[in-house]
């Protein structure tokens, strides 16, 4: 390839060395996977917030707790994370309350532990694959840089067989190598932005869950009096 040829992105990729092509292929595959999880995680968090808002409206509207519990049990496959936390806590509360030998504090603590276990599972599910996005964001630029360094080394090695080294001889090889860095940044930037956004959203949802568990525990404690 020489400077008289079309230095389009496709041409640069097609004329790159084998190692640089493998690096580009790896980065493109990682980028595709990261976009897949960006969309999946974005929809999941949005759906979680929507269902949380809906359940909070129902819960604080003053409805019967038994009715809310039965609704959660009957529609288990359609419930949101906060509703599942409520279901776990109220189920444990009902089971322990039927045991006459237990004092009120033990019953409420048991319900709180059940909610905490479900809360942890829900948060773990929301945080799933965020580590992958973080890894893509931090590693992809270095992988692209490796492809660039290798491509530049390959271009300069090709000059050893030439009598005179000119810019027109080395420029295409360097341009080919720089495409690897560009693809690495293309993979990294969306992953970093998405990770920061999703981590912030999960933290906010986590605070809402924890606040609900405390408030619901207080309600259960009042019912024991």
Please give the model's pTM, rounded to 2 decimal places: 0.82
- Residue 129 · residue 198 · CB < 8 Å: no
pLDDT at 166: 58
pLDDT in tens, the chain (225 residues): 444 445 566 666 666 677 778 888 999 999 999 999 999 999 999 999 999 999 999 999 877 888 888 988 888 778 899 999 999 999 999 998 888 777 888 889 999 999 999 999 999 999 999 999 999 999 999 998 888 888 787 777 766 666 565 556 566 667 777 888 888 999 999 999 999 999 999 999 999 999 999 999 999 988 876
C-alpha to C-alpha distance for 180 and 145, rounded to whole angstroms = 7
pLDDT at 54: 92
- Which of 107-116's residues contact partners 24+ apart within 8 Å by CB, and which partners? 107/220, 107/224, 108/217, 108/220, 108/221, 108/224, 111/217, 111/220, 112/213, 112/217, 114/88, 114/89, 115/85, 115/86, 115/88, 115/89, 115/213, 115/216, 115/217, 116/213
pLDDT at 1: 46
pLDDT at 103: 85
Closest CA to 71 of 209, 50, 59, 60: 59
pLDDT at 191: 95
Query: Which residue's structure tokens are 């504090």?
Result: 105
pLDDT at 78: 82
């Amino acid at each position: 390839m020489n400077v008289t040829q079309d230095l389009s992105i496709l041409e640069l990729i097609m004329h790159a060395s084998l190692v640089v092509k493998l690096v580009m292929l790896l980065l493109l595959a990682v980028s595709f996977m990261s976009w897949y999880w960006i969309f999946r995680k974005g929809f999941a968090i949005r759906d979680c917030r929507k269902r949380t808002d809906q359940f909070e409206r129902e819960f604080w509207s003053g409805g019967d707790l038994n009715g809310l519990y039965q609704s959660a049990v009957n529609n288990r496959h359609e419930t949101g994370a906060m509703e599942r936390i409520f279901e776990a806590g109220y189920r444990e509360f009902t089971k322990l309350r039927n045991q006459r030998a237990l004092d009120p504090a033990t019953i409420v603590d048991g319900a709180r532990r059940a909610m905490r276990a479900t809360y942890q599972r829900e948060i773990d599910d929301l945080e799933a694959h965020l580590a992958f996005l973080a890894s893509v964001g931090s590693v992809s630029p270095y992988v692209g840089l490796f492809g660039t360094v290798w491509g530049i080394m390959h271009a300069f090695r090709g000059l050893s067989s030439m009598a005179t080294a000119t810019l027109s001889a080395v420029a295409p090889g360097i341009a080919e190598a720089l495409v690897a860095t560009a693809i690495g940044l293309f993979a990294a930037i969306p992953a970093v932005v998405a990770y920061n956004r999703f981590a912030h959203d999960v933290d906010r949802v986590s605070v809402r869950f924890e606040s609900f568990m405390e408030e619901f525990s207080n309600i259960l404690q009042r019912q024991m009096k």
